Amino acid sequence: MNNTTDNNPAFDVLVIGSGAAGLSLALEMADKATVGVISKGELTEGSTYYAQGGIAAVLDETDTVESHIQDTLDSGAGLCDPDAVRFVVENGRIAIQKLIDLGVDFSRDPDPEKTGQEYHLTREGGHSHRRVIHAADATGRAVETTLVEKVQTTNNITLLDHHMAIDLIRDKRGDKRCIGAYALDIKNDRVIAYGAKAVVLATGGASKAYLYTSNPDGSTGDGIAMAWRAGANVANMEFTQFHPTCLFHPEAKSFLVTEAVRGEGGKLRLGNTKRFMDKFDDRGELAPRDIVARAIDHEMKRTGDECVYLDITDKPVDFIREHFPTVYKRCLDFGFDMTEQSIPVVPAAHYTCGGVKTDLAGRTSIDGLYAIGEVACTGLHGANRIASNSLLECLVLGAASAKDILENLDTMPDAQALTPWDESWVRDSDEDVVVSHNWDEVRRFMWNYVGIVRTDKRLERAKHRIDLLQTEINDYYGNFRITGDLLE
What residues does each domain of the chain span?
Answer: 4-239+353-411, 243-350, 432-487
Considering 123, 131, 141, 289, which one is annotated as catalytic?
A: 289
Under 8 Å between Cβ of 201 and 376: yes
Residues 243-350, CATH architecture: Alpha-Beta Complex (3.90)
According to the model, what pLDDT value does residue 205 have? 97
> Considering only 266-270, 381-385, 466-470, which range has the smallest mean pLDDT?
466-470
- pLDDT tens string 449-465: 999 989 999 999 999 99
**275 given a catalytic annotation:** no
Distances (CA, A) of 163 to 17, 18, 135, 208: 10, 11, 30, 19
Residue count of the chain = 488
Task: Give residue 486's pLDDT.
Answer: 67
- Per-residue pLDDT, 5: 46
228, 92, 386, 62: CA torsion to nearest 10: 170
- Predicted confidence (pLDDT) at residue 180 exceeds the cutoff of 70: yes
pLDDT tier at 3 (50, 70, 90 boundaries)? very low
pLDDT in tens, 29-39: 999 999 999 99
Q: Are strands 121-122 and 178-185 parallel, antiparallel or unpaired?
A: unpaired
* DSSP secondary structure code for residue 374 in this structure: G
Rounded CA-CA distance 98/94 in Å is 6
What is the topology classification, in CATH, of domain 432-487? Methane Monooxygenase Hydroxylase; Chain G, domain 1 (1.20.58)
Closest to 385 measured CA to CA, from 163, 79, 93: 79
- Quick one: pLDDT at residue 1? 34
If you write DSSP's letter for every residue of 33-45 in order, what string do you get? S-EEEE-SSSTT-
Q: Which of 406, 482, 443, 425 is nearest to 183 (CA)?
A: 482
Q: Which amino acid does the sequence have at 419?
A: T
What does the alpha-carbon distance between residue 55 and residue 46 come to, in Å, rounded to a whole number?
A: 17
Looking at domain 4-239+353-411, its CATH superfamily turns out to be: FAD/NAD(P)-binding domain (3.50.50.60)
> Under DSSP, is residue 363 helix (H, G, I), strand (E, B) or coil?
strand
| In the predicted structure, residue 477 carries a pLDDT above the cut 80 | no
Q: Rounded to whole angstroms, how far apart are CA atoms 274 and 231?
A: 51
Work out the number of other CB atoms within 10 angstroms of the CB of residue 467: 9
- Mean pLDDT, range 411-436, rounded to an integer: 76
Q: What is the pTM of this model?
A: 0.91
pLDDT given at position 424 = 64
How does DSSP classify residue 200?
Answer: E
What span, in angstroms and rounded, lies between the C-alpha atoms of 91 and 32? 23
Amino acid at 245: T
d(CA 339, CA 306): 22
The C-alpha angle 376, 199, 389, rounded to 5 degrees, equals 25
Dump pLDDT digits (tens) for 61-83.
Answer: 999 999 999 999 999 999 999 99
DSSP 8-state assignment for residue 347: E
Say what the pLDDT of residue 250 is.
83
